[in-house]
Structure 1
């Protein structure tokens, strides 16, 4: 507003002077036409009309801009809330999708071994190590779970049950240093034993030992459970060979195995009872 005053100050002063001249002429009795007087008055008043009109326009535009800004802020907040809800819903759907995929995988395994009784279980506790070497599931003796039952996930072998309580069971994964699973190469049939190793276990790996020196097993071979096990059904995937080394005795060699199951993020397993055929109630 001060800027506008500076702009019209000179006109204002000139108008005052003009008014004084007009009034002096009137006082001397000289006749002035109405139009001349109106023009003189208009000359004085117009700048003030321009000034007030400018101020009014500025107030209106400022108020309008403020209202629009408030509306935009409110709209943005509403959109942000909707986005947060959609993101949360997407997370839930992703979890449901992952859970359904896991359950479908477990069902596929159960259908591969229809001759054995099986039950699904959830991991409820794990050892303090980064990888699962021992853990606890939420099914026990009341669900028919007992020692030496086999634990599998959609991609392969997890381990076995060590002991069970009424509503829980303690389990051992193939990464545990006390674990031993009779195994063979799917491609060649070469035999060995997949065992847990304390050092390799920290990297999520295990070892296949007692492989004949003449065996044709190579890096990339898939390792499965063999027919020599009293606990594990034959043909369940264990992992893939990523390295082969000769033993110091020169008679055997061993392979480093990368398990197919992500034991670090394991949450659901299928418990298979190899010693109890489906439908056997004896």
Structure 2
């Protein structure tokens, strides 16, 4: 029986299809009422018809996918480009907001110290060794910048002092550099001393307020400003906060370790004080 079906399977299928056609025609002539033989044939051939229909649906789906793939890819590329453009706009908006905030802060500082003449500059470089703490800025003699000018943030926090000047660039010794020496004062107690860089402290991002009087009662968190003593640098520039008070190894003098308020590692824009009035 198996051999018979294997050898004559195609013939049987053809016969079944012909019978289906004949039965369909006969049914049409008989008013749509199928006889028992039609029911048997339809029952046998129904899975075949369903399989053919499913295969046709699958083929149509594959065709639609292939046909639309290129269009979908183009839409994805367009969306990616739009997202990239929006991200650029967001970054530009954030930078503009930061710039506006810095300008507002500078206006506040100018309102407090109308005697200051500022020159804005970009930070273009930083020292790359452990022997110095310096910045390179984008303004020089062509903009009226001179050695000895103080450099501050937009809020008036001291960054350092110009030490070298070129035509369109300058080197700034930051407040923790070892060549810094500026008069300082503690606002709470009016204790005066000398702000100076120290090699050991420079690696920790700190500086000294040296030559403090023995009677000075400083505590952690006391604010330190420039004193303006000697009329070389402006007074009232914020330097930082007292971290602790110590006695010199000689036992003769006391000094405070000061943490700068300026974040020297992340500065982008600074302001050079080109001129100021001496405050009595």
Q: TM-score by structure 2 length?
A: 0.75
Residue in 1 that maps onto 2:273: 272
Alignment of 1:197-236 (within 5 A): 197-236=198-237
Q: 2:132 matched to 1:135? A: no
| 1:207-255 residue CA offsets vs partner (Å, 9 max, x unmatched) | 2111112102211001000031422211110001112212233342111
Which sits farther off after the overlay, 180-189 or 248-257?
248-257
Tell me, in whole angstroms, the C-alpha distance in 1 between the residues paired with 2:33 and 2:174: 109
Q: Whole-Å Cα distance in 2 between the matches of residues 37 and 274 of structure 1?
A: 110
Structure 2 stretches of 5 or more lacking a match?
Answer: 1-8, 20-29
Shift of the 90–82 alpha-carbon distance from structure 1 to 2, 3 Å rule, reads same
**Aligned residue runs from structure 1 range 119-268, under 5 A:** 119-129=119-129, 133-155=133-155, 156-268=157-269
Runs (4+) of structure 1 exceeding 6 A deviation are 34-37, 68-73
Give 5+ residue unaligned stretches, structure 1.
1-8, 20-33, 278-282
SS in 2 for 1:99: helix
The answer on whether the counterparts of 2:158 and 2:239 sit within 8 Å (CA) in structure 1 is yes
Moved more, 173-182 or 107-116: 107-116
- Residues in 2 aligned to 1:131 and 1:105: alpha-carbon distance in whole angstroms: 33
Aligned residue in 2 for 1:88: 88
Q: Is the 8 A contact 2:224 2:240 kept in 1?
A: yes
Q: Secondary structure at the match of 1:241?
A: strand
Change (3 A) 1:66 1:97: farther
CA contact under 8 A between 2:151 and 2:161: conserved in structure 1? yes
Q: CA deviation at 1:181?
A: 1.4
* Residue 108 to residue 247, structure 1, CA distance change in 2 (3 Å): same
Alpha-carbon distance in 1 for matches of 2:49, 2:230: 99
**What is the aligned residue count?**
250
* Partner Cα separation in structure 1 for residue 90 and residue 264 of structure 2: 26
Bigger shift: residues 246-255 or 145-154: 246-255
Contact 1:118–1:271 (CA under 8 A) maintained in structure 2: yes
When the two chains are superposed, the root-mean-square deviation of aligned CA atoms in Å is 3.4
Q: 1:68 to 1:102 in 2, by over 3 A?
A: farther
Partner Cα separation in structure 1 for residue 44 and residue 254 of structure 2: 104
After superposition, the C-alpha distances for 1:165-215 in whole angstroms (9 at most, x for unaligned) are 222222211111111111010111101111112222122211211111210
Mapped contact 2:234–2:276 kept (Cα < 8 A):
no
Instruction: State the 1:82 CA deviation.
Output: 4.2
Tell me the distance in 2 between the aligned counterparts of 1:193 and 1:239.
14
C-alpha displacement of 1:48: 2.1
Deviation, structure 1 residue 36:
11
Do 2:115 and 2:276's aligned partners in 1 also have CA atoms closer than 8 Å? no
Q: Aligned-pair distance for 1:256? A: 1.3
